[in-house]
Amino acid sequence: MPQLQIKKSSKQYDVCIVGSGAGGGMAAYTLANAGVKVLLLEAGPMYDPAKNVTQLKWPYESPRRGASTPLRHFGDFDAAYGGWELDGEPYTKKDGTKFDWFRARMLGGRTNHWGRISLRFGPKDFKHKSIDGLGDDWPISYEDVAPYYDKVDKLIGVFGSVENLPNEPDGIFLPPPKPRLHELFIKDAATSIGIPVIPSRLSILTKPLENNSKRGGCFYCSQCNRGCQVYADFSSSSVLVKPAMETGNVDVIANAMAREVLTNDEGLATGVSYVSKDDMQEYVVNAKIVVLAASACESARLMLNSKSKQHPNGVGNSSNVVGKYLHDSTGASMGGILPKLVGRKRYNEDGVGGMHVYTPWWLDNKKLDFPRGYHIEYWGGMGMPGYGFGFGMQNTNGKYPGRDGKQKPAGGYGASLKDDYRYFYGATFGMAGRGEAIAREDNYCEIDPNVVDKYGIPVLRFHYNWSDYEVKQAKHMKETFAEIIDKMGGVVTWGQGSADNDYGLEAPGRIIHEVGTARMGDDKKKSALNKFNQAHDCKNLFVVDGAPFVSQADKNPTWTILALSMRASEYMIDELKKQNI
């Protein structure tokens, strides 16, 4: 008897979904509620924020006071299991270029780590080539997606304000929370120099949703990143996968690392093979439709690793674009201290888990030396202390007069130092730009011919360079931040950029908005998917994560992943009914 056996499931599913994040969760939810029988494969363990609790815990409940570990990169209290490196699951880089790849292996995937910033793409974002000649237009327009954004708003919930801005479409909003004190100062300063600051748009229930008794309202602990016990914020596990499972139409297999999409002699998908992390055995499951939602790069990896006679370049890749046009948001940040906030009165200003105000893109590129825009995120105030609290006091306490009005030498010890921590607490703030990079064919991931992971699956190799466009955008961010900080009477303490460090432009991948690796389009030679996220060369294969994006926009991708996944799922339901698939 051979050592390695492949165990075949006799159960036939309508749809097998790989990945349980925003795209996979929404597909499971939409399909299951239409009576479609779904199998959901997830590469990590089950997770439920009501059971796997870090919310409302105190820093001392973690021996490292919430610091990062190799197993939970964003710290002990963060909901996301995973990090930039996973044990036994390497990725490589080519030609000395950089790309950092964040992976969360767990139910809900990377929706367990994000800012809940839920922005719709605007009309221009789908047709940017027609505006500036760069990249490509999407095969769909804002009007095609708008009804799905509406449905996502109503199903999941998002707060915000109606602003009638040309490229920042309003949604169906819950009421926003009032700004915190530092946010009022930022708003006053920025608006006085022509930079808009409006209520943020986050998928957090400032009011419980009507017709949904399973999710509670926000109780303002500021800890969405820890996962919410009452499901008052969006994460795919609690808001989509759990109710999808309750329909009885969804089976979830956790710790299932997908290896390949299997195809038949006609080139159609027949199912998925995976390795179970629980017993390291090989399994095959069958389905009429395979939906990839493993994250932009992981889905591209699966497609490229699924080679057959009919699909010699990997399934759905006769165009040879799979893996190409990879692009992440640009990012740069700066922060400082607001001297007028030292020695401030204490009160609970936790608020929601994230900023209460933000700056949408506001300028006309015709007057700028770079294409596309960025939005600005803000933070600051009297947060819960954690690992890193008080670090570098010697860089602060010598620069400003103390409580007694006298200047002290930097550093120090004893009662006077102890009081400095109290005195400067809550007076710091920061801001970060998140911008649109141009999708380029020569920024890509591909299969590394020499390296496999611990499951024997060939790994990804990245090749990515920023261009002048992105560097100039970062320069503009830094200039804008410095202007706002100056206007509000703040002092910059970190994040000054210069040409030597590309103005602090973060390495590609760092913003965790990577998209574009199986882009949609009308031309089969230049795109992998059609406008319904369906593979041109394999009609029962769909991709519903960030991979189908033609361009990224200066927005966070999650809300568009959700809308397009719902749209693709409704199309699948329709095609199944018509027996086209």
Partner 1 sequence: MDRRKYLKSLALGTAGAGLLIQQSCGPKESAAAGPVENKFTIDRTKEELIRENKLASEKFFDEHEMKTITVLADIIIPKDDVSGSASEAGVPDFIEFIVKDMPRYQTPIRGGIKWLDLQCMRRYDGDFASLPSDKQIEMVEEIAYPERAKPEMQPGVNFFNTMRDLTACGFFTSKIGIADLGYEGNKPNQWDGVPQEVLDQYGVKYDQRTLDIAVKFNA
**Range 237-266, binding partner 1 (CB under 8 A):** 238
Decide: is 172 part of the binding site for partner 1 (CB under 8 A).
no
Q: Does 349 bind partner 1 (CB under 8 A)?
A: yes
Whose tokens are 């009165």? That residue is 345
Is 221 one of the binding residues for partner 1 (CB under 8 A)?
Answer: yes
Instruction: Give residues with Cβ within 8 angstroms of 165, minimum separation 6.
Output: 360
Q: Quick count: other Cβ atoms within 10 Å of Cβ 309?
A: 8
* Residue 219 binding partner 1, by CB under 8 A: yes
Per-position x/- string for 422-451, each x denoting binding to partner 1 as judged by CB under 8 A, each - no binding: x--x--------------------------
Region of 171-179, 291-299, 532-540, 549-557 interacting with partner 1 (CB under 8 A): 171-179
Which of 35, 147, 248, 390 binds partner 1 (CB under 8 A)? It is: 390
Nearer of residues 26 and 174 to partner 1, judged by Cβ: 174
Could you give the C-alpha distances from 550 to 114, 121, 167, 545, 546, in angstroms and in order? 22, 12, 17, 12, 9
Residue type, 368: L
Are 72 and 83 spatial neighbours (Cβ–Cβ below 8 Å)?
yes
Query: How remote is the C-alpha of 530 from its chain's centroid?
Result: 23
Footprint of partner 1 on residues 129-168 (CB under 8 A)? 159, 161
Nearby residues of 10 by Cβ (< 8 Å), 6 or more positions away: none
Residues 22-51 that bind partner 1 (CB under 8 A): 45-51
Residue with tokens 């008080």, as numbered in its chain: 390
Q: Which of residues 81-100 bind partner 1 (CB under 8 A)?
A: 81
Among 34, 172, 284, 393, binds partner 1 (CB under 8 A): 393
* Residues 350-389 close enough to bind partner 1 by CB under 8 A: 350-352, 382-389
Binding of partner 1 at residue 403 (CB under 8 A)? no
**Which range of residues in 33-41, 266-274, 411-419, 475-483 is near partner 1 by CB under 8 A?**
411-419
Of 289 and 488, nearer to partner 1 (C-beta) is 488
* Of 540, 572, 7, 19, residue with least CA distance to 270: 540
CB of 25 to partner 1, least distance (A): 17
Q: How many residues does the chain have?
A: 581
Cβ distance to partner 1 smaller for residue 28 or 228: 228
Cβ neighbour number for residue 578 with a 10 Å cutoff: 8
CA separation for the pair 283, 554 (Å, rounded): 41
Record the tokens describing residue 380, joined without a space.
Answer: 């600051």
CA 296, CA 84: separation in Å to the nearest integer?
A: 15
To the nearest whole angstrom, how small is the minimum distance from the Cβ of residue 102 to partner 1?
Answer: 17
Compute the distance between CA of residue 16 and CA of residue 32 in angstroms, rounded to an integer.
Answer: 12
Count the site residues for partner 1 by CB under 8 A. 98
CA 581 – CA 574 distance, rounded (Å): 10
**Residue 229 binds to partner 1 (criterion: CB under 8 A):** yes
The DSSP annotation for 328-348 comes to --EEEEEEEE-GGGTTPPP--
Give the residue from 172, 228, 212, 509 showing the smallest Cα distance to 354: 228
State which of positions 523-542 bind partner 1 (CB under 8 A). Answer: none
Smallest distance from partner 1 to CB 280, Å: 15
Q: Closest approach of Cβ 47 to partner 1, in Å?
A: 7
What is the smallest separation between the CB atom of 486 and partner 1, expressed in angstroms? 18
339 binds partner 1, rule: CB under 8 A: no
| 318 neighbors 528 (Cβ within 8 angstroms) | no
Q: Which of 345, 366, 367, 406 binds partner 1 (CB under 8 A)?
A: 345
Min. distance of Cβ 174 from partner 1 in angstroms? Answer: 7
Answer yes or no whether residue 108 interacts with partner 1 by CB under 8 A: no
454 binds partner 1 (CB under 8 A): no
Examine residue 75 and tell whether it contacts partner 1 (CB under 8 A).
Answer: no
Q: Select from 499, 511, 364, 526 the least CA-distant residue to 433.
A: 511
Stretch that binds partner 1, among 307-315, 393-401, 454-462, 553-561 (CB under 8 A): 393-401
**Which tokens go with 179?**
């700004």
Percent helix, percent strand, percent coil in the chain, to nearest 5: 25, 20, 55
Contact letters (x/-) for partner 1, 55-74, by CB under 8 A?
A: xxxxxxxxxxxxx-x-xx--
Binding span for partner 1 by CB under 8 A among 144-152, 214-222, 478-486, 529-537: 214-222
